[in-house]
Amino acid sequence: MPQLLDNLNPEQLAAVTLAPQHALILAGAGSGKTRVLTTRIAWLIQNGYCSPQGILAVTFTNKAAKEMLTRLSAMFPINTRGMWIGTFHGLCNRFLRAHHRDAGLPQLFQILDSGDQLASIKRLLKALNIDDEKFPPRELQHFINAQKEAGLRPAAVEAWDDYTRRRVELYTEYEAQCQREAVVDFPELLLRSYELLERNEPIRRHYQARFRHILVDEFQDTNRLQYKWLSLLADGGREGGASLFCVGDDDQSIYRFRGAEIGNMRDFERDFRVESVIRLEQNYRSHGNILDAANALIGHNTKRLGKSLWTDRGAGEPIRVYEAFTDSDEARWIVEEIQSLVRDGACRSDIALLYRSNAQSRVLEHQLFSSGVAYRVYGGLRFFERQEVKHALAYLRLIANPDDDTAFTRVVNFPTRGIGARSLEALQDAARTWNTPLYQTVPHLAGKPGAALGQFVALIERLRVETRDLPLHETVDHVIEMSGLRGHYQLEKEGQERLENLDELINAAANFSAEVGAGQAPGEAPSEPGSVLAEFLAHASLEAGDHQADAGSDAVQLMTVHAAKGLEFDVVFLSGLEEELFPHGNSTAEADGLEEERRLMYVAVTRARQRLYLSFTQSRMLHGQVRYNLRSRFLEEIPEPLTKWLTPPNPRRSYVSEPSPRYYNSGAGKPAAPSMPPPPPLRSRDLGGLAIGQAVNHPRFGDGVIIAAEGSGSDARVQVKFAEAGSKWLMLAVAKLTPAS
């Protein structure tokens, strides 16, 4: 017993030894919440408050559940196999297996993962002859899951328009199909468990009497149905019910897009009349400067339950801030800094590169690969391996080489264009007969298959003609648009990330063109568009090759901030701290969206143990064009004494309308400098012989007039007002502008 409670701080000890009652434990980042949960279970059993079978512990990952069981086994000799410790889905599966007849399920029912569920919905739409463009399968999947997570069967869903009523009908048909096939999806596991407990009093009373102590990890990530399920097992907080011990951190609630409801924490306090709220604020992970920055950031959020992290590890190093000119410069600086850290003895695996959006990984990966630094993308695919990127590259490969059968089969029916498996089988049989590539075999097919495949071939031929004289990045942009890829992902509920990756592919093409141009000898004729495309495709294949480090090897870790939650590293680089990127541009249009972005920033900052780098750029490639952003407001929310600027701060790039004097003062008592005058207008030679007001021609957009310009040399860009395409900013280094005749 003394050993069990050794080395607990006063707050941890208070939480572990709390008399059986409802309790909310606000556990800050790095405060030892897993240890508290595990020790609490052991303490309850050792002190006779319940048997191991009287414990129900809910985690959000199988990894966390296994870790908890391992720690319990090490604390004292008990058989943990019979204990109910696991994820919501795992525990509900166990419950339904035991009561399958009462739940209306066969004993050997199968579980559909997300991919299987999507395939099942596609089969349903095909069987009912439903247009999958009007009712996209993935969107319908999100609709069905959202209703289930809200605890709603089809009959309870409110539908005020014809489209929603039709979706509800499809929801009904989907349920009937799952019942026929004896399968359940993930949301169904929880919903059916809840419904069975609610309507079957004997079963409900049995489990209410059995589980005397219910412990929940990551309580801030629970959705409404999960909260109702827990409440039902705890008898709604009535006297004699189980004690509900919830551990969470409202400041780390970052999964609203998955249905997480931060309001559950406040509802729990009210519904269960919680008297014990214990705050775990001592952090065992990070140095003081990092925690002070995190506290200052999250302090700008409202409706917090209140918590302030501290440590006895000392202040540590200041937070380093770097301003780069471009995203390529930012990536180059990060990699050089990593190489310096490794030379000084740091392990690559203790270094993490975090970013807000997956699309940002491309430029970082390119620089790491080019510099020979081993890396791994954690919790996701490398850029050129992502589905949407591979689809776009497949179209480009067909333009460059129509005999590429692999590329042909990948996109011949993506986005869907009515080409089924039988048509492809007929084509493949004909290709073997004629000994020709699939593309060349299409004219030999007759009937419906030949007509459908002929339309696809016509599309590729049209794309080849339309992009013949376009710069590489405009070729990529045009193909993404005209192939239907952009439109397809715009219809997806969670297609924003895929669209960002497609935009980043355009950026990659623009950067590649610039690099190819810079590498040419003086007087050398520029490469033909076709050869540049072939070189770019080869470059993409090489970077998509087997260059990623093996699991367990010493490699730099790349990941989104969402994927980093629960992890920690000695050194953290957080890139792209610009308005519209972090915080994300969509957040300002959503209720509480900015506060969730700030919680995400809080999570990012608290991943660092010893050293934290924050970086941003003056300009960043987006959709093949240079965009100029202000630095993130989150940088302004970090107190000045905690930071060390590695570059002189530029007041003109600040988010705040009146920047802090620290960005102006060059000496004590010196007044702030006046704002800088605008740069002089560019001379004709700065624009490659062109001038503002001059009429020009573009291969794709046609005739237009230059109305503005900025930058110089390779960074020069102009704004052109086109007759049909409207106003566009174009980089002179890659745009083929010629004086209009």
- Out of 117, 252, 557, 625, which one is annotated catalytic? 252
33 an active-site residue?
yes
The answer to whether the beta carbons of residues 703 and 696 sit under 8 Å apart is yes
CB-side neighbour CA atoms (13 Å) of 662: 14
Q: What is the DSSP string of 290-303?
A: HHHHHHHHHTT-SS
What whole-number distance in Å separates Cα of residue 698 and Cα of residue 474?
11
The answer to whether the beta carbons of residues 553 and 416 sit under 8 Å apart is no
- Out of 12, 33, 40, 599, which one is annotated catalytic? 33
Q: What would the mean pLDDT of 472-494 be, rounded to a whole number?
A: 87
Q: What would the mean pLDDT of 430-450 be, rounded to a whole number?
A: 83
| CA neighbor of 560 nearest in space, from 693, 427, 422, 383 | 383
- Out of 149, 218, 337, 543, which one is annotated catalytic? 218
- Out of 11, 217, 251, 404, which one is annotated catalytic? 217
Q: Is 151's pLDDT higher than 60?
A: yes
Span 409-426, pLDDT tens digits: 888 888 888 887 788 888
3-state helix, strand, coil in the chain (%, to 5): 50, 15, 35
Instruction: Give me the pLDDT at residue 652, please.
Output: 47
| CA neighbor of 506 nearest in space, from 370, 330, 383 | 383
Paired residues of 381 in beta bridges: none
Q: Is 83's pLDDT higher than 60?
A: yes
From 162-176, 304-318, 621-635, 702-716, the region with the lowest mean pLDDT: 702-716
- Out of 607, 609, 653, 700, which one is annotated catalytic? 607
Threshold 0.75, pTM exceeds: no
- Under the banding of pLDDT at 50, 70 and 90, the label for residue 662 is very low
Q: What would the mean pLDDT of 274-290 be, rounded to a whole number?
A: 92
Instruction: Give me the pLDDT at residue 663, please.
Output: 30
Q: Is 377 helix (H, G, I), strand (E, B) or coil?
A: strand
- Report which listed range, 4-8, 110-114, 149-153, is most confident: 149-153
The amino acid at residue 15 is A
- Out of 17, 34, 172, 177, which one is annotated catalytic? 34
218 an active-site residue?
yes
382 an active-site residue?
no
Q: What length is written for the chain?
A: 741
- Under the banding of pLDDT at 50, 70 and 90, the label for residue 58 is very high
- Under the banding of pLDDT at 50, 70 and 90, the label for residue 1 is very low
Q: Which residues contact 625 (CB under 8 A, 6 or more apart)?
A: 717, 728, 729, 730, 731
217 an active-site residue?
yes
Q: Is 710 helix (H, G, I), strand (E, B) or coil?
A: strand
Q: Is 210's pLDDT higher than 80?
A: yes
